[in-house]
């Protein structure tokens, strides 16, 4: 089991008191499986992804990622977990401005000690980035930066991919192509994919779909 959540709840303090964002969430994800997470804005989708990534902590419940209990890991342990086996694709591209596209693509894979030039070249071609390798992030459109961010994540061959609206800045045809590539990685490597999306059309291309409503699984 790559991912298992049991009774996960999260709230935030507001001027009006505690705001419950997630309530009693249970879900799991096996190796080689893809799961989509849908729901209206404010339903807790991105919060759930941040909890799984170890960027925040739940108030209640247990989160196990790659067979590790997240509650037992300190900040450096969580960072090592992300570096070692969890790939993140968030809505913020977080590309390194001083590195060109080629170096950005290789960055995470080199940190993880899994840089494979042949695999990166394949990703570069499949993502349509071959002609952009020597450009810098400021020279790219939003859609191009999104494709680089996705390629950077996949280049490290993560065991678990967490993706928050990964095709949100892409046109429909390119988005379909990128999603097909991500699903192909799951099939080829036995990785798992958990993807947040507003698109039911995209969500239905994954193995399973969970819908959040008001912080609960509907």
pLDDT tens-digit readout, 106-115: 999 999 899 9
With 90 as the cut, is the pLDDT of residue 174 above it? no
With 90 as the cut, is the pLDDT of residue 189 above it? no
For residue range 26-56, what is the model confidence (pLDDT) as tens digits? 999 999 999 999 998 889 999 999 999 999 9
Q: From the centroid of its chain, how far is CA 214? A: 22
With 90 as the cut, is the pLDDT of residue 182 above it? no
As a CATH number, domain 3-217 is 3.40.50.300
Mean per-residue pLDDT for 191-209?
93
With 90 as the cut, is the pLDDT of residue 190 above it? no
Is the sign of the CA dihedral 38, 64, 13, 92 positive or negative? negative
Between vectors from CA 138 to CA 136 and to CA 139, what angle results, nearest 5°?
70
> Cβ contacts of residue 218 below 8 Å, gap of 6+?
39, 211, 212
With 90 as the cut, is the pLDDT of residue 198 above it? no
The DSSP secondary-structure symbol of 134 reads T
Position 202 scores a pLDDT of 92
With 90 as the cut, is the pLDDT of residue 23 above it? yes
Mean per-residue pLDDT for 136-155?
93
Backbone angles phi, psi at 111, to 5 degrees: -60, -35
């Amino acid at each position: 089991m790559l991912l298992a959540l049991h009774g996960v709840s999260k709230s935030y303090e507001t001027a009006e008191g505690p705001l419950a964002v997630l309530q009693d969430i249970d879900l799991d994800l096996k190796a080689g499986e893809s799961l989509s997470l849908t729901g209206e804005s404010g339903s807790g989708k991105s919060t759930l992804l941040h909890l799984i990534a170890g960027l925040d902590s739940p108030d209640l419940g247990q989160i196990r990622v790659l067979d590790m209990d997240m509650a037992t890991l300190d900040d450096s342990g969580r960072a090592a977990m992300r570096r070692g086996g969890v790939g993140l694709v968030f809505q913020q591209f977080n590309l390194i401005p001083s590195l060109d596209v080629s170096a950005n693509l290789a960055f995470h894979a080199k940190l993880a000690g899994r840089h494979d030039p042949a695999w990166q070249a394949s990703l570069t071609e499949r993502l349509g980035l071959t002609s952009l390798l020597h450009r810098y992030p400021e020279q790219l459109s939003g859609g191009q930066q999104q494709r680089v961010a996705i390629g950077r994540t996949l280049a490290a061959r993560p065991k678990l991919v967490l993706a928050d609206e990964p095709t949100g800045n892409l046109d429909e045809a390119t988005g379909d192509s990128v999603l097909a590539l991500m699903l192909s990685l799951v099939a080829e490597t036995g990785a798992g994919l958990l993807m947040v999306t507003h698109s039911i059309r995209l969500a239905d291309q994954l193995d399973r779909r969970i819908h959040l409503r008001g912080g609960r699984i509907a």
